[in-house]
Amino acid sequence: MLNINIQKEDLLKALSDVQHAISSKPSMPILTGVKISADKEGVTIVGTNNDLSITKTIPLEHKGTEIVSLKKEGSIVLNAKFLLDIVKKAPKTDILITVGKNFVTEIQSGKSSFNLNGLEPEMFPKIPEIEGEIDFSISVKDLKQLISQTILVAATSEMRPILTGVNLTLSSSEIKAVATDSHRLVLKTLSIPAGEEEKNITIPAKSLQELAKILDDPKEQVGIKMSESQIIFQSNNLLLCTRLLEGKYPDTAKLIPDNTTTTVKGNKKELIAALDRCSLLANEKTKIITLEATKGQLILSVTSKEVGNVTEILDDIEIDGEDVKISFSEKFAKDALSTFDKEKVKLEFTGAVRPFLFRCDEDNTLTQLVLPVRT
Amino acid sequence: MLNINIQKEDLLKALSDVQHAISSKPSMPILTGVKISADKEGVTIVGTNNDLSITKTIPLEHKGTEIVSLKKEGSIVLNAKFLLDIVKKAPKTDILITVGKNFVTEIQSGKSSFNLNGLEPEMFPKIPEIEGEIDFSISVKDLKQLISQTILVAATSEMRPILTGVNLTLSSSEIKAVATDSHRLVLKTLSIPAGEEEKNITIPAKSLQELAKILDDPKEQVGIKMSESQIIFQSNNLLLCTRLLEGKYPDTAKLIPDNTTTTVKGNKKELIAALDRCSLLANEKTKIITLEATKGQLILSVTSKEVGNVTEILDDIEIDGEDVKISFSEKFAKDALSTFDKEKVKLEFTGAVRPFLFRCDEDNTLTQLVLPVRT
C-alpha cells in the first residue's frame, strides 16, 4: 500500500495542474478525486471529467535532489479539493502520505495529521491513450497565443455544440484555426514544420482554456498526437488528453468580406480606453457603442436617456476611404482588440451593415470579425 | 453655475472616500448622488445615506500648487457611481466640470466628454452639524485599532438593533469599548487626555467600519464631537457624521469570568494556522473545532464522518492548571486571535461549558470572549 514522503512544493504544483480537469459537479462520485500512483518511475497524479483528463508525473529526483522518498509502491484515489487545500496549508516542506486499511490515508506534515477516506484506485476511469509517436510539436508560446486569440470567440451556448470548439485545419505546413459564436469570428494561421497530413478537427474551447492555464514555460515544446476522437498534448511531465467534438464545422471562408470601403488605423490601447469609457453609459446588458469615421476623425459615442451621453474623439488616427457610421457590441470589439499584441491595429469596414474586421499590418496571421448591430 | 478645472487625482480620492457613505439601495433617488459645491474655500463633496454622511473638502491649492481652478462658484448633484467611474478612467490628469442648462453637467478630460443629467443641489439633504469645539481628539492609529478590534464582534443581525453597534463608555481619562453578538464579546480600553465628562453612547459598527476605511495617515489626529443623537469625526479635510443607536446597551461587565482554571499561552500565528487546517474538515456551516489541553499538550481536532479527521498538536505551548476539553466556532476564535498585534497570546478557560477568554500578557487593554458550543 502506497507510502511516500514527497516535497510539498512539487505535490502542490501537480495537484494544482491536475485540478483543472476536475469538474465541480462530476457525473460520478469518484471523479471528485485524483488518482495518485507511486512506483520506481515516480509519482503520477491524474484527474479527469471524462471529456478532459490531465496527468502529471513527479520524478523521484530532479538534478540529483530527492523529491520523493518511495517507501512502498501503490495507488489511491483521494478527494481532489480536500487534498489540494491540505497540501496548500501543510506546515512543513515535506509531506508523508500513508495508505492504510479500507483506503484510509494519512497525510502528515510536522505535527499536523489528516486521515482522509480514500477510494479504491481500480474504480478510477482509464485514461485514453494514443499509440505511436507524436504527430508534430509546437512551442508553448505559439500554442498559448493561438489559444488566447481564439477561445474567447467560441460559442458558450450549447445550442450548436460544434461552435463551442476551436476548429483546426492542418495542412502540410500550417494550422488554420477558426472560432465563431455566429456574432463574431476569428481566423488565425500558424506555421508548423512541413510534412503533416491534411486533417480537420474541432477541440472543445474549454479544454484549450485549461491547457493554456497549465502550460507555463514559453520556451518548452508541446508534442501533439491525434486519433479520430481524441487529441493529446504532452510537455515535460504533463499530459493532457481531450475528446474532440463530433460533427462538421461550418464553412466560414466566405464570411470574411474582401471589398473594404473604409480603413481606420489607430492605437490599440487608446481604442480600448475609449471603448471602456463609452461603456460606462452604455446599456448594461447590450453595451452597444456607435463608431463614426468622418472628416478624418474617429468618434465613439453612447447616449443614454436617463444618465446622459459620452463622446470620445480619438487622436492619432489614419482614415482612408468612405465615411462610415456603425454600431456594435463593446465587449466583442474589446475582446477582438485585446488579442493583438502589437501597438497599431487596423479596422476594415464594408459599410454600416456588413461585418467589419480587426487586423494588424505588422502581423497578418490574425483576423477578428465582428457583426454590427442595427440600432 | 459651477465651473471648475480640478486635478484628477484629488477628485478621485475625494469621490472614493465619500462613496463610503452612499448606499447601493438608497431610500430616495437623490441619495445615489454626491453634492459638489465650489467656492473660494475649495470644492466640497458630500455623500449621505441619512444614517451616515461623509464630507471631503479639496482646497483650491496645496503648498503653492493649484489643485482647483475656480472659474465659477456653484453646486450640483451628480450620480456618485457614474462620476467615480468617469473620473477613474479620465485620460488626462485634469478634469473640467461645467454645469449647464437643466443641471446637465459636462465632464471633460482631453478629448473625452461626458454629459451627465444632474439633480438640483437644493434637493440634497442637509448634513447634521454640531455646534462648538471638539470634545477631545485621538490619533488615527489608536482609533483604527479600536475599530478593528471591536467591529467584527458586533451583531450583524437586526434582531436587537443596539447590538449592531459598538458601545463606548467615556470617563475622565479612558474610553471603554464593548461589542457583542451574544455568542462572543470584546472589551477594549483606550486612554484619552483627562477632562472628558462621563458619557455612554453606541455607534453603528457599519459607520465605524467606513470610518476606518477612509482614515489613512496613522500619524494624524481625529477630533471628536458628540450630541445626543450624532457623533462627528473630523480629520484633515474629512468630516464623518453618523447617528447614534438609541436604547440602553446591556450590562456586560458580569459576563467576563474571573476564576480561570486553565491558562494556555501560545504563538498567535501557529494557533491561527492550526485552526485554518482543522477548518478544512469542519462542517461548512458551523465550523466547530475541539480543543484539548492535557498532559502539557494542546490538541486541536475535527472529525467528519464522510471525509475523515484531522489532529493538530501545537508546539511551543505553556499550559497551567486543570485539563480542559472544549468545542467552539473556528471563525469566532480566529476573529478573536486576529485582533491581537503581539506574537504571544493567552487563552483563559473556566471549564468546558463557561465562556473562555483571549488575552495578551504584553497588552492588557484587550479581552476577547467566546462562548463554547456543546457537542
CATH number, domain of A277, equals 3.70.10.10
Please tell me the predicted confidence (pLDDT) of residue B270. Answer: 96
Q: Which residue has the cell 474582401?
A: A258
Instruction: Report yes or no: B11 at the A interface, CB cutoff 8 Å.
Output: no
Instruction: Report yes or no: A115 at the B interface, CB cutoff 8 Å.
Output: yes
Q: For residue A86, list chain B residues with Cβ-Cβ distance below 8 A.
A: 277, 280
Is A110 in contact with B292 (CB distance < 8 Å)?
Answer: no
Ranges in chain B, pLDDT < 70: 195-196
Q: For residue B276, list chain A residues with Cβ-Cβ distance below 8 A.
A: 89
CB contact under 8 A, A314 and B276: no
Other residues' Cβ atoms within 10 Å of the Cβ of residue A50:
13
Q: Kindly state the cell numbers that stand for A149.
A: 486569440
Q: Where are the alpha helices (DSSP H) in chain A?
A: 8-19, 80-88, 140-150, 205-214, 268-279, 330-338
Q: For residue A307, list chain B residues with Cβ-Cβ distance below 8 A.
A: 79, 82, 116-117
B98 in a domain, yes or no?
yes
Using CA atoms, how far apart are residues A162 and A179, in angstroms rounded to an integer?
A: 10
Of A113, A273, A276, the CB nearest to B311: A113
Q: Which residue does chain A place closest to B315, by CA atoms? A: A111
The answer on A113 and A7 residing in a single domain is: yes
CB contact under 8 A, A89 and B113: no
Question: What 3-state DSSP class applies to A262?
Answer: strand
Please tell me the predicted confidence (pLDDT) of residue A337. Answer: 98
Domain end position, chosen among A197, A224, A252: A252
- Name the DSSP class of A18: H
Q: Which residue does chain A place closest to B310, by CA atoms? A: A114
Using CA atoms, how far apart are residues A202 and A246, in angstroms rounded to an integer?
A: 8
Q: Which residue does chain A place closest to B84, by CA atoms? A: A280
Using CA atoms, how far apart are residues B10 and B238, in angstroms rounded to an integer?
A: 13
Q: For residue A111, list chain B residues with Cβ-Cβ distance below 8 A.
A: 312-315
CB contact under 8 A, B115 and A86: no
Q: Which residue does chain A place closest to B79, by CA atoms? A: A307
The answer on A7 and A106 residing in a single domain is: yes
Using CA atoms, how far apart are residues B76 and B117, in angstroms rounded to an integer?
A: 10
CB contact under 8 A, B310 and A117: no
The answer on B286 and B230 residing in a single domain is: no
Q: For residue B112, list chain A residues with Cβ-Cβ distance below 8 A.
A: 274, 277, 310-312
**The three-state (H, E, C) secondary structure of B289-326, written as one string:** EEEEEECCEEEEEEEECCCEEEEEEECCCEEEECCEEE
B129 in a domain, yes or no?
no
Using CA atoms, how far apart are residues A333 and A291, in angstroms rounded to an integer?
A: 11
The answer on A119 and A167 residing in a single domain is: no
Nearest chain B Cα distance for residue A125, angstroms:
21
A81 in a domain, yes or no?
yes
Is B283 in contact with B315 (CB distance < 8 Å)?
Answer: no
Ranges in chain A, pLDDT < 70: 195-196
Total tally of structural domains belonging to chain A: 3
Which residue segment(s) compose the domain that B108 sits in? Answer: 3-123
Write the single-letter amino acid at A348: E
* Contact residues for A126 (Cβ-Cβ < 8 A; gap 6+): none
- Name the DSSP class of B93: S
A375 in a domain, yes or no?
no
Q: Which residue does chain A place closest to B302, by CA atoms? A: A114
The answer on A119 and A146 residing in a single domain is: no
The answer on A152 and A62 residing in a single domain is: no
CB contact under 8 A, A307 and B82: yes
CB contact under 8 A, A273 and B85: no
Using CA atoms, how far apart are residues B244 and B165, in angstroms rounded to an integer?
A: 9
* CATH number of the domain bearing residue B27: 3.10.150.10
Q: For residue B82, list chain A residues with Cβ-Cβ distance below 8 A.
A: 280-281, 307-308
Handedness of CA A231, A217, A190, A222 (dihedral sign): negative
Q: Exposure of B64 by Cβ count < 10 A (0-12 exposed, 13-18 middle, 19+ buried)?
A: exposed
Nearest chain B Cα distance for residue A291, angstroms:
14
Is B114 in contact with A281 (CB distance < 8 Å)?
Answer: yes
Q: Which residue does chain B place closest to A78, by CA atoms? A: B307
CB contact under 8 A, A276 and B89: yes
Query: CA separation (Å) from A10 to A2, A212, B47, B212?
Result: 18, 20, 51, 41
Is A201 in contact with A226 (CB distance < 8 Å)?
Answer: yes
Q: Which residue does chain B place closest to A81, by CA atoms? A: B280
Domain end position, chosen among B200, B233, B253: B253
Q: Kindly state the cell numbers that stand for A71.
A: 517507501
Please tell me the predicted confidence (pLDDT) of residue B317. Answer: 95
Write the single-letter amino acid at B267: N
B130 in a domain, yes or no?
no
Q: How many CA atoms lie within 13 A of B374 on its CB side?
A: 2
Best mutation target, A107, A115, A271, A276, to test chain B (most B CBs within 10 A): A115
Using CA atoms, how far apart are residues B246 and B204, in angstroms rounded to an integer?
A: 10
The answer on A119 and A7 residing in a single domain is: yes
Nearest Cα neighbor of A362 from A349, A374, A346 is A346
Query: Chains A and B: how many Cβ contacts under 8 Å?
Result: 82
For chain B, state the CA radius of gyration. 25
Q: Which residue does chain B place closest to A311, by CA atoms? A: B113
The answer on B51 and B141 residing in a single domain is: no
A196 in a domain, yes or no?
yes
Q: For residue A308, list chain B residues with Cβ-Cβ distance below 8 A.
A: 82, 104, 114-117
Q: How far is CA A299 from the centre of its chain?
A: 34
Using CA atoms, how far apart are residues A121 and A116, in angstroms rounded to an integer?
A: 14
**Helix/strand number for chain B, H first, E second:** 6, 28
Q: For residue A91, list chain B residues with Cβ-Cβ distance below 8 A.
A: 273, 277
Q: Kindly state the cell numbers that stand for A51.
A: 471529456
Q: Kindly state the cell numbers that stand for B298.
A: 494542546
Instruction: Report yes or no: A312 at the B interface, CB cutoff 8 Å.
Output: yes
Best mutation target, B81, B105, B297, B310, to test chain A (most A CBs within 10 A): B310
B375 in a domain, yes or no?
no
Q: What single string gives the DSSP state of each residue in A185-238?
A: EEEEEEE--S-PPPEEEEEEHHHHHHHHHH---TTSEEEEEE-SSEEEEEETTE
Q: For residue A117, list chain B residues with Cβ-Cβ distance below 8 A.
A: 306-308
The answer on B326 and B341 residing in a single domain is: yes
Instruction: Report yes or no: B283 at the A interface, CB cutoff 8 Å.
Output: no
Q: Which residue has the cell 483543472?
A: A20
A-contacting residues in B 70-109 (Cβ below 8 Å): 79, 82, 85-86, 89, 91, 104
Question: What 3-state DSSP class applies to A72?
Answer: strand
Q: For residue B79, list chain A residues with Cβ-Cβ distance below 8 A.
A: 307
Of A91, A277, A308, the CB nearest to B89: A277
Query: CA separation (Å) from B293 to A285, B69, B370?
Result: 57, 67, 17
DSSP H or E segment with residue A288: strand A288-294
* Contact residues for A42 (Cβ-Cβ < 8 A; gap 6+): A57, A58, A59, A60, A68, A237
Question: What 3-state DSSP class applies to B252?
Answer: coil
Q: Exposure of A73 by Cβ count < 10 A (0-12 exposed, 13-18 middle, 19+ buried)?
A: middle
The answer on A242 and A140 residing in a single domain is: yes
DSSP H or E segment with residue B150: helix B140-150
The answer on A149 and A60 residing in a single domain is: no
Q: What is the pLDDT of residues B345-372, one digit of tens each?
A: 999 999 999 999 999 999 999 999 999 9
- Name the DSSP class of A85: H
Phi (first) and psi of residue A294, to 5 degrees: -155, 140
CB contact under 8 A, B280 and A111: no
Nearest Cα neighbor of B3 from B101, B75, B63, B89 is B75
Question: What 3-state DSSP class applies to A11?
Answer: helix
Using CA atoms, how far apart are residues A169 and A156, in angstroms rounded to an integer?
A: 21
Of B85, B112, B277, the CB nearest to A112: B277
Q: For residue B273, list chain A residues with Cβ-Cβ distance below 8 A.
A: 89, 91
Of A86, A281, A312, the CB nearest to B280: A86
Please tell me the predicted confidence (pLDDT) of residue B193. Answer: 79
B128 in a domain, yes or no?
no
Using CA atoms, how far apart are residues A245 and A235, in angstroms rounded to an integer?
A: 23
Using CA atoms, how far apart are residues A306 and A170, in angstroms rounded to an integer?
A: 52
CB contact under 8 A, A308 and B277: no
Q: What single string gives the DSSP state of each residue in B173-223?
A: SEEEEEEE-SSEEEEEEEE--TTPPPEEEEEEHHHHHHHHHH---TTSEEE
The answer on A269 and A242 residing in a single domain is: no
Domain end position, chosen among B123, B158, B192: B123
